[in-house]
Structures are given as structure tokens and as C-alpha cells.
């Protein structure tokens, strides 16, 4: 096969571009863009020889293509050629890249792990010879700045630098996606050099840490300098990016075609759309109707509001599932991580605070420090599913507080002070305190999580696994049928359409509360609070707080979004109230009074018990006045019994006061106030 000369390459490119890309070039120039995207398959079918050469000698052929554009275009502007759609033979995993691929064009995908600052780099320098005035151009290809060695007049060295061309350069590190790996493989990394228009602000967003990207680039070898100053026989690999294509987009970036939009709008007019969405959430998981309802609302989310004083109210709905082992919590989390366009799934035992929020690492490229984002930041604009929340260390769990309510993560380490956006919806799952729910103990006592964290979840679902003949029979049939025939469960709405539907709602729909919906929410709030009105003497349970009021608004907005409505109606408000009331009655019920008590969740001490604590405190104060500082415990028990408290209750409260540091025992059977 005859090699194509440089002139032939340019002519072939001219012909190809004139046929297919003249309109696009005119558009790119009028918009001021510095690139034009060309489909590789088009080149290959136009001239297979040119396509083959492009894979084997990409730098020369791309230069010929850019020369052809320059000659065709009257404005004389240089447009960079960015390729897409490489053949399957060139699509590799990072771990498959070898020395035979050096200087070849390949495509690989992965997650951006780290990213350096954008810095200028010299590509070409012009020198003048002081002897004869000749001007010499030197291309700067390596890491070291090169000067001309000699001039045609015979002069060696001492040339004067006239000017240099600079381009923006950035280095990102791409790591293989965990889902593409086998068993015990460790994900491999590759440094990618990104230049010129690929570091423009729009592309910057695409290459943020945590983004999934496809890189089309040329593999280069980088010499490893030895400590002695010489060159090593071993080289490092690096990819010089020709194009970067985002492989995973958040809800706001998902592109929706007009045909898909028509399909979405048709779906929205279906009166049973909410039921269909609910059935499509996790069709292979039996039951859990209320939870699936809540998950639908969570995927759609409320409306994020920024007030004139700068205060931001979050629109994300956080949900916590606490349940017995084998109740399908992890399956639900995995399914949600699959549906949401941008999601992260993490498991409690393997999480560190840095892995959840952010950490500071050394940056090899700039010899400084760089930020490496954790799961909550990586899922910004999406959903973070945290499994085994109860198995996390206390310090690591504390890192979540700011992210859940303020939706930012502030980091101050090394010389970096940064606030990262973490507008992330959190769906968490945990086991009860002793692995399984005790049917005779209050649920709130068995949720082994700090009250400050629990308080930030809008909905909390306890999932109990209680044997019931009819239910167990149905469940067994359902699971076994699924094992026998994996295709027996059909989704009502296909996953791809479901993702687009959710994305459309999140991008375009910002529902407003109607007066009827407001009235409905207000009436429920006041009705619930009214049980706490009354006498001054005793401490009444607080059934609902302002935090739940905000949760109701978010849930009602999400409900309106499910049918792509711009108005939150009374029906949406009722759906939100029903869900919240369901959760409160399951988790917040005080068995002693039979009333819903939000303090059970938010502080861990119900109002009835708080009332008992104040009785004991009063008794201790009275006895201190009559007996003196050292108070016999039996006296406390006697007086408490008169006020209707059992011995066990008194003992529990004294223990609580000891732990809180209010009292101590100087000797056995005696207590003293601190």
C-alpha cells in the first residue's frame, strides 16, 4: 500500500470537509469556538487509508487536517480537530495500555480522580541570530525549554529570544471505574494532559473530580529522571487528550431530544403517572409501598430557594431507612444509584470522613497541594446512597452534618481553605442497635445514631421483618418466581425513559405553592402542635417542629413535579402529610402517652421522661435544703414513689444525671450535686 504524501493528505481532508463540515466550520467561527468535532467513522468511510493513517500517525494527520481547514477558511483562523466515535479496536481499558500504543490514537474511559490548576506552557519560541539577523523557530515538545543549537551562518549559541507562544495546560488523573473491574483488581490510573480549548470554563466543569469521562488521546512516553541527573531506561505513560466526552451527566446536564420530550409530556398527562413511577422504582423488590413512594419524591426533589438575604433553603429530601437484616435496604439503595443520572453508592465500614467529604493530597504536577473530592461532593447535583450508616465511625459520621443541612463542605487543611458545593440528596440505610428490632422496645431507642444527625433526615422508615403467614407466602412466591425467570418482572416505565423524565422535571419544573396547599400544610402543623398546648406545670410532648414543616413543603413540591405541574395543589400537600405522618407515627410515638413526640427522635429523651427528670431534680433540691449536701438515695426513691415514679424509672433517671455530670456518689448509697 502506497503511503500518502503530506499534500495528498491535505487535499483529501479538504475534499472530506467541503462535503460534510463547511456549515459546522462557519458556525464554530461565528461563535468564536476554537474547535470542530469530526466523526471518525465519517473519515474512515470516505477514505479507509486516511482513517488507518489517522490511528497510526495521529499527530501528522491531524496537522494535515488543520492545515486543510486553514486553507479552506477565508478568515485564516486555526480550528483544532476534535475526534469522536473511534472504532472498537481502539477502545481500551487503562490497564490494557502498553508500549505498542505509544504515539497511537486510542479511546478509554474512567473517573477523574485528581485535577491540577490550569497553567500556561510554551509550544513554540522564536529566536533571532545576533550575527546575521536570521529568525529561527523552535518547537517546544518536551519538558525542557529548547534553544536553537546553530544558525545557517555558522553561529552556535547566544541567540536572542523574540517571543513565545503559550497555551493553557492542565493535568488530570483518570482512574478506571470500579464497575468495569474484575474481582480483586486494583483500578489503574493514567495521567492525561489537557490543552487549549479543552480547558475552557465549560470543559472545566466536565473534568471535575468525580466526573465520568471518555478520553480520546495520543499515548506519549515521559522520561523518568534519575536522582543522579541522567535518564532512566524506564518511561512513564501519559495521554495527550484530543477530545474529552462526558460519560455521566447530572440531572441538569442530561440532554433531551424533542422526540423524548414529546414522550415525557405524554407520560405526564397519564392520570396514573404517580402509581407508574412507584411501580418502576424497584419492581424486583417486594412490598415497601410507602418507601417506594418516598423514593419517587426523593428522586424528583423539592425546589431550592435563595432568599433576598442570601439564606438558602435546600430542596433535597434526605431519607433514612432503618431495618432488620434482609429487608432489602441495600437493594433499594443500589436500584436508586442505578436510576439517578449522577449517583454514588458507598458502604459504611469502608468510609472515612475524607472519603465522604474531601481531602487534601500532594499534587505532583505543580509540586503543591490539591483537593481530592469525596462521595458527597462527587454526587453534587445527584444522589449519594450510604449503606451501613451505623457501622461508620463517630468522627466520620460527624462530617456529614454540614453537607446534609447547609449543603456545603468546608475544608481547611495545609494551605487550602475551600468551601465545596455538596447539593446532594442523601439516602441512607442502617441496622437497629442490636442488629434486629426488638418488638417490645420503642423504635426510636433502637436507632443507634446521634440525634443531631437523625434530625436532618426528612423521612425515617423503620422496616420490621415480622413473620405473617399470608405476607410471607406472597413474598416467597415473588422471590422464587424472580429466581426461576429473571424476565418475569417488567418495568412499567423503562429505566432510560425514567431517568430522562426525572431529569426533565428537575431541569424545567419549579412548582409554586397554591393557597389551598399552604392552608392544608398549616392546618396539619397547627393540629399536631395543639396537643402540646395546655398547663404550665408538666412538660408536654412536641409532636412536630419547624424542620418537619419545611420537609412537608419539599415533599409537596416533589409530588407536583412528578406530574410536571407548575402548581402545588391540595392533593400534593395531602400526599406529603400522609407520608410524614406515617413516619412520625412509626418512629416518634411515645408508648406512655400514646402521642407523637418529635423529641424521641431529635433529642433521644421523650417529653414524658423529661417531665420525670424535672421531678427527680426537684426532689434532690428539696432534700439538699433539708438534709444537707449528702443525700441518701433511698430518700430519693421514697419521695419519687409518692409522686408516682417506679423504682426502675428513678434508677434510670439518676443514672442519666450521673452521666450528664449533674450528680455524683461520694460513697455508696449517697448522692451529691456537683
Q: Are 674 and 666 in contact, with CB atoms under 8 Å apart? A: no
Give mean pLDDT, residues 116-140.
79
As its CATH architecture, domain 607-673 has: Orthogonal Bundle (1.10)
Q: Is the pLDDT of residue 94 over 50?
A: yes
pLDDT of residue 540: 47
Closest CA to 564 of 229, 255, 263: 263
Q: What is the pLDDT of residue 400?
A: 80
Arithmetic mean of pLDDT, 288-303: 85
Rounded distance, CA 338 to CA 293, Å?
17
Please compute the mean of the pLDDT values over residues 597-607 and round it to a whole number. Answer: 56
Helix, strand, coil distribution of the chain in percent, nearest 5: 40, 25, 35
For residue 346, give the C-alpha cell.
Answer: 458507598
Instruction: Measure the CA–CA gap between 538 and 220, rounded to whole angstroms.
Output: 77
In this prediction, residues 223-252 reach a mean pLDDT of 75
pTM flag (> 0.75): no
- Report d(CA 38, CA 80) in Å as an integer: 10
pLDDT at 329: 79
| Beta carbons within 10 angstroms of residue 169's beta carbon | 21
The mean predicted confidence, pLDDT, of the chain is 77
Residue 168 vs residue 252, higher pLDDT: 168
Residue 17 confidence class, pLDDT cut points 50, 70, 90: confident
Q: Give the per-residue pLDDT at 1.
A: 46
Share above pLDDT 70 across residues of the chain, in percent, rounded to a whole number: 85
Of the pLDDT bands very low, low, confident and very high (cuts 50, 70, 90), residue 208 is: confident
* Per-residue pLDDT reduced to its tens digit, 421-441: 788 888 888 888 777 777 666
Task: State the burial class of residue 239 (Cβ atoms within 10 Å of its Cβ: 0-12, 13-18, 19+).
Answer: buried
pLDDT digit string, tens, across residues 6-16 = 777 778 877 87
For residues 610-626, give the mean pLDDT.
Answer: 79
Closest CA to 248 of 200, 213, 280: 213
* CA separation, residue 67 to residues 73, 126, 337 (Å): 10, 21, 46
DSSP-assigned beta bridge partners for residue 306: 312
Distance between CA atoms of 661 and 38, rounded to whole angstroms?
72
CA-wise closest residue to 24 among 35, 13, 12, 11: 35
Q: What is the mean pLDDT of residues 495-505?
A: 81
321 has pLDDT over 70: yes
Mean pLDDT of 445-459: 77
pLDDT over threshold 60, residue 37: yes
**Between these two residues, 298 and 608, which has the higher pLDDT value?**
298
User: Under CATH, which number does the domain 90-246 receive?
Assistant: 2.40.50.140
Min mean pLDDT across 285-289, 361-365, 595-599 is at: 595-599
Q: Is 175 a residue whose pLDDT tops 80? A: yes
Round to whole Å and give the CA distance between 246 and 241: 13
Q: What H or E segment, with its residue span, contains residue 273?
A: helix 273-281
SS3 assignment, position 619: helix
Q: How far, CA to CA in Å, does 573 sit from each of 292, 579, 580?
A: 18, 10, 11
250-254, 303-307, 353-357: segment of lowest average pLDDT: 250-254
CATH code, 6-85: 3.30.1640.10
pLDDT classification of 202: cutoffs 50, 70, 90:
low
**Confidence at residue 603, expressed as pLDDT on a 0 to 100 scale:** 54
Per-residue model confidence (pLDDT) at position 537:
42
Q: Is the pLDDT of residue 268 over 60?
A: yes
pLDDT of residue 536: 43
pLDDT at 109 over 80: yes
| pLDDT score of 88 more than 80 | yes
Non-local (6+) Cβ contacts of 265 within 8 A are: 564
Supply the pLDDT for residue 539. 45
Percent of the chain with pLDDT over 90: 0
Q: Where are the domains of the chain?
A: 6-85, 90-246, 512-602, 607-673
Residue 659: is its pLDDT beyond 70?
A: yes
CATH of 512-602, one of 1.10.101, 1.10.8, 3.30.70, 3.40.1710: 1.10.8
CA angle 233, 236, 242 (to 5 degrees): 135
Amino acid at each position: 500500500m502506497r503511503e500518502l504524501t503530506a499534500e495528498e493528505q491535505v487535499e483529501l481532508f479538504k475534499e472530506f470537509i467541503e462535503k460534510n463540515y463547511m456549515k459546522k466550520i462557519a458556525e464554530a467561527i461565528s461563535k468564536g469556538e476554537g474547535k470542530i468535532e469530526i466523526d471518525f467513522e465519517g473519515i474512515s468511510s470516505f477514505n479507509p487509508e486516511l482513517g488507518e493513517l489517522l490511528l497510526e500517525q495521529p499527530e501528522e494527520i491531524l496537522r494535515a487536517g488543520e492545515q486543510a481547514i486553514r486553507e479552506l477558511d477565508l478568515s485564516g483562523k486555526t480550528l483544532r480537530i476534535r475526534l469522536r466515535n473511534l472504532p472498537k479496536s481502539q477502545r481500551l481499558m487503562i490497564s490494557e495500555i502498553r508500549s505498542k500504543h505509544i504515539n497511537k490514537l486510542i479511546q478509554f474511559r474512567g473517573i477523574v480522580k485528581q485535577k491540577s490548576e490550569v497553567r500556561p506552557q510554551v509550544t513554540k519560541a522564536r529566536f533571532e541570530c545576533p550575527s546575521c539577523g536570521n529568525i529561527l523557530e523552535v518547537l517546544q515538545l518536551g519538558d525542557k525549554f529548547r534553544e536553537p543549537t546553530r544558525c545557517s551562518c555558522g553561529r552556535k549559541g547566544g541567540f536572542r529570544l523574540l517571543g513565545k507562544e503559550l497555551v493553557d495546560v492542565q493535568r488530570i488523573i483518570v482512574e478506571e471505574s470500579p464497575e468495569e473491574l474484575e474481582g480483586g483488581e486494583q483500578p489503574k490510573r493514567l495521567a492525561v494532559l489537557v490543552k487549549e480549548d479543552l480547558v475552557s470554563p465549560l470543559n472545566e466543569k466536565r473534568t471535575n473530580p468525580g466526573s465520568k469521562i471518555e478520553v480520546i488521546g495520543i499515548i506519549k512516553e515521559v522520561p523518568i529522571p534519575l536522582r543522579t541527573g541522567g535518564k532512566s531506561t524506564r518511561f512513564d505513560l501519559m495521554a495527550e487528550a484530543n477530545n474529552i466526552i462526558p460519560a455521566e451527566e447530572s440531572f441538569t446536564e442530561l440532554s433531551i431530544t424533542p422526540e423524548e420530550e414529546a414522550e415525557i409530556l405524554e407520560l405526564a398527562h397519564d392520570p396514573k403517572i404517580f402509581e407508574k413511577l412507584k411501580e418502576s422504582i424497584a419492581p424486583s423488590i417486594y412490598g415497601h409501598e410507602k418507601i417506594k413512594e418516598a423514593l419517587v419524591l426523593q428522586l424528583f426533589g423539592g425546589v431550592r430557594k435563595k432568599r433576598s438575604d442570601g439564606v438558602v433553603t435546600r430542596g433535597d429530601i434526605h431519607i433514612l431507612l432503618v431495618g432488620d437484616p434482609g429487608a432489602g435496604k441495600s437493594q433499594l439503595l443500589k436500584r436508586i444509584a442505578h436510576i439517578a443520572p449522577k449517583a454514588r453508592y458507598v458502604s459504611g465500614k469502608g468510609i472515612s470522613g475524607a472519603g465522604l467529604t474531601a481531602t487534601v493530597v500532594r499534587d505532583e504536577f505543580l509540586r503543591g497541594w490539591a483537593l481530592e473530592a469525596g462521595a458527597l461532593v462527587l454526587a453534587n447535583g445527584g444522589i449519594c446512597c450510604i449503606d451501613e450508616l451505623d457501622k461508620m465511625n463517630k468522627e466520620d459520621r460527624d462530617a456529614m452534618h454540614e453537607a446534609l443541612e447547609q449543603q456545603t463542605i468546608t475544608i481547611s487543611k495545609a494551605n487550602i481553605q475551600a468551601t465545596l458545593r455538596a447539593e446532594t440528596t442523601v439516602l441512607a440505610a442502617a441496622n437497629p442497635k442490636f442488629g434486629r428490632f426488638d418488638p417490645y422496645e420503642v423504635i426510636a431507642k433502637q436507632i443507634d445514631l446521634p440525634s443531631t444527625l437523625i434530625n436532618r433526615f426528612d423521612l425515617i422508615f423503620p422496616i420490621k421483618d415480622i413473620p405473617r403467614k399470608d405476607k410471607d407466602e406472597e413474598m416467597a412466591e415473588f422471590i422464587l418466581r424472580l429466581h426461576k425467570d429473571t424476565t418475569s418482572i417488567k418495568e412499567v416505565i423503562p429505566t432510560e425513559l425514567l431517568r430522562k423524565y426525572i431529569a426533565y422535571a428537575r431541569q424545567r419544573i419549579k412548582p409554586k405553592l397554591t393557597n389551598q396547599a399552604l392552608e392544608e400544610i398549616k392546618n396539619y402543623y397547627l393540629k399536631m402542635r395543639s396537643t402540646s398546648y395546655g398547663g404550665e406545670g408538666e412538660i408536654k410532648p412536641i409532636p412536630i417542629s419547624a424542620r418537619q414543616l419545611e420537609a412537608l413543603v419539599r415533599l409537596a413540591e416533589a409530588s407536583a413535579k412528578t406530574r410536571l405541574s407548575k402548581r402545588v395543589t391540595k392533593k400534593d400537600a395531602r400526599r406529603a402529610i400522609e407520608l410524614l405522618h406515617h413516619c412520625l407515627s412509626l418512629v416518634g410515638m411515645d408508648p406512655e402517652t400514646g402521642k407523637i413526640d418529635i423529641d424521641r427522635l431529635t433529642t433521644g429523651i421523650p417529653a414524658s421522661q423529661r417531665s420525670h427528670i424535672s421531678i427527680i431534680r426537684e426532689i434532690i433540691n428539696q432534700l439538699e435544703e433539708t438534709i444537707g449536701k449528702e443525700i441518701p438515695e433511698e430518700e430519693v426513691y421514697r419521695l419519687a414513689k409518692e409522686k408516682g415514679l417506679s423504682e426502675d424509672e428513678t434508677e434510670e433517671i439518676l443514672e442519666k444525671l450521673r452521666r450528664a455530670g449533674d450528680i455524683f456518689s461520694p460513697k455508696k448509697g449517697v448522692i451529691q450535686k456537683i
